[in-house]
Chains A and B, each alone.
Chain A
Amino acid sequence: MEMVPSCPNHPDVVEGLRYCSRCGQVFCPDCLVAIRGNTYCATCKAEQLLDLTSGVDQFTLDLAGIGRRFAAYLIDLMVLWIPLIGIGIAIAVAAAGSKEFNPIWFQPAALLAIVLWIVYEALMLASRGQTLGKMAMKIKVVRVDGTELSSGQAWGRAFMRQVLASCLSIFDYVPAFFTKERTCLHDLVANTRVVNWS
């Protein structure tokens, strides 16, 4: 004989049961209160209210500050400059060696830089949601609901970021200053958010 789920407080109610968003138990509608789109039972309601007023609400994203994101970007830039400068030096040495030097030799370096950026960002975001700069600044790229990125999203975000940054330069980043969720254009396209992760 199977147990029919019923409300722990009102055993006679077996219909219309819902879950409490925090403890996961089922309750009848009389034992649940709705706050900001989620339902809570009596004990969890007090905890949720304390969480909200303490600023540690587990149902809202802890969006990372712009200063931190910019610092992470600078660190990533420095990390990527090392191989790029190496390649630049190699080209310069090769150019100094040969008689005819054409500045167009540096073109593949620019393209290589973009490809390197995409590969670096995509691989690191797909594996752990953070690049080296983001790890140093303790921030992370997640989906809108807070879960981990899929590899498709990581590659899409990295690719679109380079495309948008090349076409629009800084305007790719400007929406981050004005939107509530601090999304750059590449965040909007890839449906991602950047949160604190310490």
Chain B
Amino acid sequence: MNDATKRTRIGRNSNFATRQLVYRTPVGIEIDELDHFEIVRKRVFYDDVLLVTYHRQQSWGFIVLSALVLLLFGILAVVASSVPPLAMTLAAVAAVALILGTMRLLMQVEVVSVFGRRSKAAIHYAYRKAFARRMYNEICANVAAAQRRLASEIAASEPPEERAVEEMPPMPEEGTAEPS
């Protein structure tokens, strides 16, 4: 629990089976998967990232769900039409479902995916399109910066070794040669 692990929430990836919250930390992307009893955390380190993608897709689960709610509450509203207040409430719920479903159908959902060597992350954005694009750019920039930093670190610690191996032929007194 140190301040170095400051993380900001950047989105969600929830579907019927799972609920995932996605965070951004100074070293990578963190995915918390919640199931009411435990939080399982996975990470994709910036040093490990191979691919970052951005695409738009339809979220059929949400649309089917809102269609079902619309149907159910619509039928209930018709059935209860003799009791106006109840019918109005039911119709209001059905209307909300209709509006949300249509909005989702028209707007679709933007998905930013991050693929690492050993783990992956995906973030769904339904309404914040500009934010999604910004996140995509920022994540790409962070990954590029982190990998550039790592490459320079490796290069800084490597050359003395390589030069030593080049200049000095393997001599037994020096010690065991490094197998590569």
Contact = CB atoms under 8 A, between A and B. Distances in A.
Interface of A: 8-10, 50-51, 53-56, 65-68, 71, 137-138, 177
Contact of B17 (A10, A55, A66, A68): A68
Given A9-B176, A50-B45, A68-B17, A56 B37 contact: no
Interface string B32-59: 0101111011111100100000000000
B118 interface: yes
A71 B17 CA distance: 8
Contacts of A66: 35-37
Given A54-B45, A56-B42, A65-B18, 13 more contacts: A50-B45, A50-B48, A53-B43, A54-B44, A54-B48, A54-B116, A55-B119, A56-B118, A56-B119, A65-B40, A67-B35, A137-B17, A138-B17
B61 interface: no
Contacts of B17: 67-68, 71, 137-138
Contacts, number: 46
A9 B40 CA distance: 39
Taking residues whose C-beta sits less than 8 angstroms from the other chain, chain B's interface range is 20 to 34
B7 to A, nearest CB: 14
B159 interface: no
Contact of A65 (B38, B42, B43): B38
A55 B179 contact: no
Given A8-B179, A56-B118, A65 B35 contact: yes
A54 B35 contact: no
A53 B33 CA distance: 15
Interface in B130-180: 176, 179
Given A8-B179, A54-B119, A138-B17, A68 B35 contact: yes
A54 B37 contact: no
A10 B178 CA distance: 10
A55 B176 contact: no
Nearest to B118: A56
A50 B118 CA distance: 9
Contact of B176 (A10, A65, A71): A10
Contacts of B176: 9-10
Interface in B100-136: 116-119
Contacts of B48: 50, 54
B38 A54 contact: no
Given A9-B179, A50-B48, A68-B17, A177 B37 contact: yes
B42 A54 contact: yes
Contacts of B37: 65-66, 177
Question: Which 9 interchain pairs have the tightest Cβ spacing?
Answer: A65-B35, A55-B42, A54-B43, A67-B35, A54-B119, A56-B118, A56-B119, A54-B118, A55-B41
A51 B118 CA distance: 7
A51 B45 CA distance: 10
B3 to A, nearest CB: 18
A92 B115 CA distance: 57
